[in-house]
Every structure is written in C-alpha cells, then in structure tokens.
Amino acid sequence: VRPTSFFFSGVLAACLEPGDLPTGMRIHSHIVDCGCGSDIVVATALIGMYSRCGSVDRAREVFDRMSYRDTVAWTAMIAAYAHTGHPRQAIELFKAMDVAPNAFTVSCVLGACSDLGACGRLDEAREVFSSMGVRRDVISWSSMIAALVRHESFKEALEFYRRMDLEGVRPDLFVFASVLDACSRLGGLEQGKAVHERLRAGGSELDVVVSSALVNMYAKCKSLREAKQVFDRISNKDVVAWTTMIVAFSQDGHSSEALELYEQMVARMVKRDVATWTALFSGYAKHGFNNEALETF
C-alpha cells in the first residue's frame, strides 16, 4: 500500500523525537522516493520537522522548492526562523508573504520583533500589528502587549490593553500577567487593583502564574498586606510564587517574615532556586542584617 501525504505528515508530526535529524532526513528521502515531496501538506510538515531538529537551512530549502505556499506553509517557515533564533529572517519573510497571515503568523513575527532586542524594532512590531486590522485576536494582542512590556514601554502596554477592551477582545491570562507587570513597573496600584477585580470576577484569580504577578504588583506598589493575602490564597504554590513573596518581604525590610516563609518553603519540600537564595541574602544585606545572612547560608 502506497503511503499517503497524510500518513507522512502524521509520522513527521507525531513520531519523530525533536532533534532526531538523521531519522527525519531518512523519512524525507523516502517521501521523495514515493513522489510526495511536492505535496503542500507533506512539505509543511517537513518544514516543521527540520525546525524542531534545529536545521532551519534545510527547512528553507523545502520551503523554496514549494510551487504553491498557503498561509500554513508561510507561517511554518516564519515560525521556524522565529523559534530557532533568527528573528530578522522571520520578519523579512513575513514582509515577503503573498497570502493573508493568520493570528499565529503575527504572533511569531511580533515575538521576533521583540527578540531582536533593539527598541527601534518596536516600530516594526506596531506596523505588523496594525496591518492585521480587524483580524486581531487575543494571541496578537497578547504578543504585542508582551513585546511592549519587554521593551519597557509600560504606559503604551496599558494603552493597548485599554484598546483591546474597546475592540471587544477578551484578555487571556498571559495578557493579564503582562499588564500586571506593567502596573508593577509604573507603581500603578489603582490600575493593578482594577485588573485584580476583573480576575476575581472571572474566577481566574487563583491561577498560580497570575497570582504571582499580583503578588509582585502589590509588593512593588508597597502594598505588602494585599500581596500576602493573594499569596495565602494560592492553593498550589510553585517556586515562583514562594520566591516572589520572599522577595517582597526582604526588599521591604521584613527579613524575619522572609525567613519564616523560606522555612515554610523548606518544610513543604518546595525546590528552591538561585533566585530564592538571592532574595533572602540581598534582603538581609540591604538592611544590615549581616549576621543573620551568614547564619542562614
């Protein structure tokens, strides 16, 4: 029985371990022998396979040989560049795209703009975002807001959050986390509280990622009581949540509370990381508790 294009695409997507380039190349050779190499579904799957194996040049060779490319194929190649550390190539390919992008395409390009590191690239991110028009969805908004926060354009990030509401797009947890980060950097306590109320009303307050962002926001806005209240309501605290609260106490001079939390963390056998140790040590050192720091470490 001759394998079909869907068989090959399924094998490439589901059966190949990431990084197993030799096996992927053997499958590719078999695909060519079976005459399926020009099939758009198979070619797109090959681009994804080579991307997962870290061979973006081979992915591009497959892409360039395609006689017809749909949005999925273009997006696969753009994502291959974006996810293998080639943001500039991702942006250039997006500009050359001759079919309409989808939300995932734009998400990849916005991430690539952010990854370039230069603040000037935010202009390209804005252009990409504006080019979507009414097709902007929550992924596009989330990527744009995250890029703005990453480049410390905090006020603009909050403005995009407001615009998102006006356009009737419902934020997801990633958007809320980015917005809370912006609030924490600006000292925007009232804006942060408004986000908190919205999370509480939507039943998302206890998500550990968002809760950690809330703790951080309240702590940076000098509202330790609210930060601790949020922390105490987290049922499944991870190392980030614990460390965020320890940092909040230690940076505000509450070294005994920070140490007490650390001891609870140890008792619950939560794995500590470098950030946890650094938070305790820097908190002690900052406020002159050098003996306590030495006793702890």
Flag whether 165 is in a domain.
yes
Flag whether 80 is in a domain.
no
Whether residues 101 and 39 share a domain: the answer is: no
Flag whether 257 is in a domain.
yes
Flag whether 27 is in a domain.
yes
Each residue's pLDDT tens digit, 183-214: 999 999 999 999 999 999 988 877 889 999 99
Query: What DSSP designation does 24 have?
Result: H
Query: What DSSP designation does 151 have?
Result: T
Flag whether 79 is in a domain.
no
Flag whether 185 is in a domain.
yes
> What's the whole-model pTM score?
0.73
Above 60 in pLDDT, residue 26?
A: yes
Flag whether 224 is in a domain.
yes
Q: CA-CA distance, 291 to 285, in Å (whole number)?
A: 9
Q: CA-CA distance, 181 to 213, in Å (whole number)?
A: 7
Flag whether 285 is in a domain.
yes
Q: CA-CA distance, 128 to 106, in Å (whole number)?
A: 7
Whether residues 231 and 249 share a domain: the answer is: no
Whether residues 134 and 204 share a domain: the answer is: no
Please report where in the chains the tokens 């930060």 appear, as a residue. Answer: 227
Whether residues 162 and 179 share a domain: the answer is: no
Q: CA-CA distance, 286 to 82, in Å (whole number)?
A: 40
The whole-chain average pLDDT of the chain stands at 85
Tell which of 144, 171, 198 closes a domain. 171
Q: What is the CA radius of gyration of the chain?
A: 24
Whether residues 166 and 92 share a domain: the answer is: yes
Whether residues 251 and 267 share a domain: the answer is: yes
Whether residues 166 and 95 share a domain: the answer is: yes
Each residue's pLDDT tens digit, 159-188: 999 999 999 999 999 999 999 999 999 999
Each residue's pLDDT tens digit, 59-92: 999 999 999 999 999 999 999 999 998 988 998 9
pLDDT at 159: 97
Residue-range definition of the domain harbouring residue 116:
87-171
Check if the beta carbon of residue 216 is closer than 8 Å to that of residue 181.
yes
The number of domains in the chain is 4
Mean pLDDT throughout 7-12? 78
